[in-house]
Structure 1
Amino acid sequence: MVVSTQPRFYLASEQHVDHLVQLDTLAQRDPKREEDIKAWVEARNCYLCESDGEVVGYGVLTRSFFGHAFIEMVMISEKRRRSSLGTALVSYFQALSQGSKLFTSTNTSNLPMQYLLLKTAFKPSGYIENLDPDDPELIFFYTDAGDAHASCSGPNEYAASSSHK
């Protein structure tokens, strides 16, 4: 689906929690995610992504990564994925974090998110094993200082070079 209007981003409030739980693919099978969503909204870290007058996703931006900005979550409803909304949300977080370091992470198995991050000028910054069985967490870094372009051509190259060293 093509986005027909520019997406709009704004802080979520308590009234949005039920809708976020409905569009979050993990929350429907894991009650802890609903608790996470409530906590993110309460802490004022959860931003809605609205397109064509409908909330179609959300993202979470914290300062929880060693005092640096960290994109903890990017979730776009299944029916609106691959329509540039995730890219727009990440770009919004980059603008909010202008002048400071911005980090995020994704699993090795999540190739669409890795491509999105590389496309938005994040670069690989390491990995953490043992969070999810057999699926290391890849760390990515962005800075608007001009030196954040990834040196690898895609997620498979990075995953292959970093796994199980």
Structure 2
Amino acid sequence: MTGDRGKERRVQEAVRRHGRERAFAEAEHVISALLADPQVQQAGAQVEAAETELGTEVIRHANASDWPGVASIDSIAASGDDARRASIRRWCEQGLVLLAEDASGPLGYSVLEYTFFEQGFITMVMIAPTARRQGVGARLLKATEAACTSPKLFTSTNVSNHPMQLLLQRVGWSPVGLLYGLDEGDPELFYLCPGAQPRGLVEAEG
């Protein structure tokens, strides 16, 4: 009798498992059919067009084809700096760029790498001149923080770059170190994302 009960339970489990798999398959079929419906596709296109018309801002990962647009809002690349243009192209090709854009085009971008002691590091934050002082930088920092997969996230800026320092302070980043020797007479100030707690300010000379 015990063996019969065990067999019965196995049969019941198999039936339930089959029922779940069939339900998932049917749901997937329904969703696929719904998304393929021309009316649904048309409605989606209308929503997208309405968002574009309203100037809705989106932040997404840039792809390789985005690099010319990204370079166009980078003041150094736009001035004809080939090295910066090459860096932007490489960043986009490697999927390191988060791009903020609306109907008018690119508004700003950030670059997230993991080359700083295997922790996240924001190598670059650049906002288009026409989009500054509109909160784009703060939203990019928040989006980059959300995209970071390491326990800590850092960035740095020159001591002379007061706008970037004010932006970082406004979104809660903490200064954690000062590095001399990168740019003559203009030390690099390092910041830690508010998601991690600093252990104390560190000064170093390069």
- What TM-score comes out, normalization by structure 2 length? 0.65
1:123 aligns with 2:174: yes
Q: How far 1:118 moved relative to its partner?
A: 1.0
**Distance of 2:142 and 2:68 partners within structure 1:** 26
Q: Match of 2:77, SS?
A: coil
Does residue 1:43 correspond to 2:94, yes or no?
A: yes
Tell me what 2:105 maps to: 54
* Letter paired with 2:186: D
Give, in whole Å, the separation in 2 of the partners of 1:7 and 1:135. Answer: 34
Q: CA RMSD in A?
A: 2.5
Instruction: Give the letter aligned to residue 20 of structure 1.
Output: V
Give a deviation string over 1:40-95, Cα, whole Å, max 9, x none.
Answer: 11211011111345221111011111100011111110111111000000011112
Q: CA contact under 8 A between 2:152 and 2:193: conserved in structure 1?
A: yes
Judge conservation of contact 1:48–1:57 (CA < 8 Å) in 2.
yes
**Gaps in structure 2 of 5+ consecutive residues:** 1-53
Q: Is the 8 A contact 2:112 2:148 kept in 1?
A: no
Structure 1 spans left out of the alignment, 5+ residues? 152-157
2:144 alignment partner in structure 1:
93
| Corresponding residue number in structure 1 for 2:18 | none
2:76 aligns with one of 4, 26, 30:
26
2-side partners of 1:90 and 1:122: how far apart?
Answer: 10
Q: After the TM superposition, which of the residue ranges 59-68 and 45-54 deviates more from structure 2?
A: 45-54
Aligned position for 1:155: none
Which one has a bigger Cα radius of gyration? 2
- Please report the TM-score for the alignment, with normalisation by the length of structure 1: 0.80
**Is the partner of 1:83 in helix, strand or coil?**
coil
Corresponding residue for 2:133? 82
Structure 2 CA distance, aligned partners of 1:41 and 1:141? 24
**What is the SS of the residue equivalent to 1:27?**
helix
8 Å Cα contact 1:128/1:137 also seen in 2: yes
Maintained 8 Å contact 1:99/1:143: no
